[in-house]
Amino acid sequence: MIDVKNVTKRFGEGQAAVTALEDVSLTIPEGSFFTLLGPSGCGKTTLLRLIAGFELPSEGEIALDGESIGHLAPNNRPVNTVFQNYALFPHMSVARNVGFGLEMLKRPKAEIDSTITEMLDLVQLGEFATRRVDQLSGGQQQRVALARALAPRPKVLLLDEPLSALDLKLRKGMQSELKRLQHETGITFVFVTHDQGEALAMSDRIAVMSAGSVRQVGTPEEIYTAPKSRFVADFIGDTNIVNATLLGFDGDAAKIRFGEGKPLTIHTASTLLEPGPVHVALRPETIRVVEESAETALLRGEVVDSTYFGAGSQMLVRLEDGVSVHVQVSTPRPVGSRVGLECDTSMLHVLED
Amino acid sequence: MAGVAHIPQPDAASRLLAAQAERARQRRRTRLFLLAPGLGIIGIFGLFPLSIALVYSFLEPGTYGGVEWTFSYDAYVQFLFERDIFDDTLTFNSAYLQIFGRSFGLAITTMIGTLILGFPVAYFIAARPQEQRNFWLFAITLPFWTNLLIRTYSMLLIVRDEGFVNLTLMNIGLISEPIEMLYTDGAVLAGLVYSYLPFMILPIYASLEKFDFSLLEAGHDLYATRTQVFRHIIIPITRPGIAAGCVLVLIPALGAYITPELLGGGKKLMIGNLIALQFGSGRNWPFGAAAALILMAVVLIALLVSLRAGASKEGGHG
């Protein structure tokens, strides 16, 4: 288990200092596939490098299984990294690359040799042991990098956007491969990516980051269906953000209403908000189109566009206050017609900002 | 042409082959044409004088310099033996071997000195951001703007008894009498290291320039200490640059002439000075030519051996 406690990381000194991470706290459960997700510059790679030991925190503490590791050198941490550009040693064979960590740990030769064989089999590169790394394809180099980082049996494996250099088809294959490896080895994987699809597909838990802080941590389902903030809702998948008025709280349920409509009671994770105008997120696939006059309609508007995409159509509906909403339907209404939109109130989420 | 349609397949194939052969010939001609000027210069100014030296080394010295056109391998015998003036018996003479040994010792020390000083500099430049590197490279090549002779003279002024170093040390009271630095082996070594340092820095920089610094992080990440990263990652990857730098320093340092003459005062003969002496006041051209050729042969053999050793080491990695 990794405990990141109030970690701040600044680069540079004084006036020119840039804060890459601001008071980040995070718990990464043991044996989980944990993803740090965010746009470039959000600090996710910095956090990974802090865990690896390539950077030291300006403030705060990082602990692994209760032991503080925040100020140890990388070679003293039971943590290994798969680099974005793989960083394989070009002057060594595939086998020596894989065995390098154990060699540095001064393990017996027999153990090193058997681990190399085992690891190369694990990543299905058994027959490539004697090759030079520059004779391998990008996908194969990726697997060597994985085998090299797994060979010393680290407690935590860090992966810095390892799939970004691969083409789409290889990437899909490596996604399930990584899941399999994580499952078979039981090692905690900390995976950095800016690709929300990748994060949703692979992770046990996701931490969504932006501008140097963690915005939300949860399972892929939680992150997708119950985004806490406008940023998370926007960043993960397609989402609609509509205006509403928060009337107040009733226990842990919030009372809101759209425009002049009737008050609705919805669950919310946050009771910190002040009554007044708020944003509400709703996913395109949870919305149903009904007649404008229907009693159940929560929102009303005019169809302004409709796009066919094979499995269905995506309609763009402009609401009365000018906000546009995407709706997925099987049979679209004609452009220009007025429609009502309804959805289960459990699918509505009040956003914090 | 009506016949075109009837041309059988094998004929088309053979025509294709002929065209390919013609193109290959053309390429060879172009290559030869491009090589010609370089080969010409090497031939005229390299191989031709070398042949003259080879021929001269097998002749007899003329009384007032030059050569007598009589075949003799005396020059080579003279290198190892002393001929008795009266009865022509040969006794072993190690004087010239000692000169060779001293020169090799000095050249190897120079090489090690430039390597120790040059590697960190090359590493420093390679680790700078791209836009700053040209400035540092420019700074490294700056000494070439002044003639080596003048630079060596200025070193002489700095290290002599009334020179800058001694005067400064005496003025601040660290020493009461000047330290004798000029005309010592140390002065020659310092001069050689100074002169040849850029030849060590530049090839090492060239091999470090392409170096992927994330390999260092990968090494640290995989439990290597700083020393181990240096030994197992930096050194092997930059080995070609280090080898090139060593060759570029060792060979000219072996034949160095100006520096030992000026800073060493010519007190101890080096190969370069020995050879120069034979063509000058020594008036023994064949012996000078023989000494030069022996030096060349030794260097060639040493290079071939080290190349072979390097190649087999590379193979061992594969």
For every residue of A134-176, DSSP letters joined together read GGS-HHHHHHHHHHHHHTT--SEEEEESTTTTS-HHHHHHHHH
CB–CB of B222 and A80 under 8 A?
yes
* pLDDT of B8: 54
Position B205: which residue type? Answer: Y
A295, with CB counted inside 10 A (0-12, 13-18, 19+), is: exposed
Please name which of B63, B90, B48, B65 lies closest in space to residue B278, comparing C-alpha atoms: B65
- CATH number for the domain that contains residue B136: 1.10.3720.10
Q: Judge whether B51 lies within some domain.
A: no
Summary count for chain B: helices (H), strands (E) = 14, 4
Q: How far apart are CA B178 and CA A290, in angstroms?
A: 104
The region of weakest confidence among A21-35, A204-218, A284-298, B15-29 is A284-298
Q: Which residue of A has its CA nearest to B238?
A: A91
Q: Is the same domain home to B183 and B300?
A: no
Residues from chain B that touch A45, judged by Cβ atoms under 8 A, are none
What is the Cβ-side half-sphere exposure of residue B316, based on CA atoms within 13 angstroms? 7
Q: Is the same domain home to B261 and B301?
A: no
Pair of tokens at residue B78:
């003279």
* Residue found under tokens 């394809």: A137
More confident residue, B128 or A253: B128
**Is a pLDDT exceeding 70 seen at residue B154?**
yes
* pLDDT of B193: 94
Q: Judge whether B98 lies within some domain.
A: no
Q: In this predicted model, what pLDDT tens digit does every residue of B128-139 receive, in sequence order?
A: 998 899 999 999
Cβ contacts of A96 within 8 Å, gap of 6 or more: A89, A103, B317
Residues from chain A that touch B221, judged by Cβ atoms under 8 A, are 52-54, 74-75, 79-81, 149
How far away is chain B from the Cα of A74, in angstroms, using its nearest Cα? Answer: 5
More confident residue, A124 or A157: A157
Q: Is the same domain home to B130 and B172?
A: yes
Residues from chain B that touch A132, judged by Cβ atoms under 8 A, are 318
Q: Is the same domain home to B197 and B159?
A: yes
Query: Mutation test of the interface with chain B: which of A46, A49, A75, choosing the one with the most B Cβ atoms within 10 A?
Result: A75
Q: Judge whether B41 lies within some domain.
A: no
Q: Is the same domain home to B138 and B236?
A: yes
Q: Is the same domain home to B142 and B65?
A: no
* pLDDT of B122: 94
Cβ count within 10 A of residue B174: 9
Of the candidates A91, A100, A149, which has its C-beta nearest B317's C-beta? A91
What is the pLDDT confidence band of residue B189, given thresholds at 50, 70 and 90? very high
* pLDDT of A21: 87
* pLDDT of B112: 96
* pLDDT of B110: 94
CB–CB of B233 and A52 under 8 A?
no
How far away is chain A from the Cα of B200, in angstroms, using its nearest Cα? Answer: 22
CB–CB of A91 and B224 under 8 A?
no
Domain count across chain B: 2
How far away is chain B from the Cα of A185, in angstroms, using its nearest Cα? Answer: 18
For all residues of chain A together, what is the average pLDDT?
86
Q: Which residues of chain A approach chain B closer than 8 Å at the C-beta? A: 52-54, 73-75, 79-81, 83, 85, 87-93, 96, 100-101, 104-105, 130, 132, 148-149, 152
* pLDDT of A184: 86
Q: Is the same domain home to B165 and B263?
A: yes
Q: In this predicted model, what pLDDT tens digit does every residue of B215-260 receive, in sequence order?
A: 999 999 999 999 999 999 999 999 889 989 999 999 899 888 888 8
Q: Which residue of B has its CA nearest to A92?
A: B317
Q: Is the same domain home to B145 and B74?
A: no
Q: Judge whether B74 lies within some domain.
A: yes
Q: Judge whether B276 lies within some domain.
A: no
What domains lie within chain A, and their CATH numbers? Answer: 2-225 (3.40.50.300), 238-351 (2.40.50.140)
Of the candidates B212, B222, B317, which has its C-beta nearest A101's C-beta? B222
* pLDDT of B292: 92
Percentage of the residues of chain B whose pLDDT score is greater than 70: 94
Q: In this predicted model, what pLDDT tens digit does every residue of B39-55 receive, in sequence order?
A: 999 999 999 999 999 99
Q: Judge whether B64 lies within some domain.
A: yes
Q: How far apart are CA A100 and CA A145, in angstroms?
A: 11
Q: Is the same domain home to B140 and B81?
A: no
Q: How far apart are CA B124 and CA B196, in angstroms?
A: 18
* pLDDT of A258: 83
* pLDDT of A332: 80
Q: Is the same domain home to B128 and B64?
A: no
Range of the domain at B297: 58-93+284-318
Residues from chain A that touch B227, judged by Cβ atoms under 8 A, are none
Q: Judge whether B36 lies within some domain.
A: no
The region of weakest confidence among A136-140, A207-211, A345-349, B257-261 is A345-349
Q: Judge whether B50 lies within some domain.
A: no
Q: Is the same domain home to B208 and B302?
A: no
Cβ contacts of A196 within 8 Å, gap of 6 or more: A37, A235, A236, A237
Q: Is the same domain home to B177 and B230?
A: yes
CB–CB of B220 and A73 under 8 A?
yes
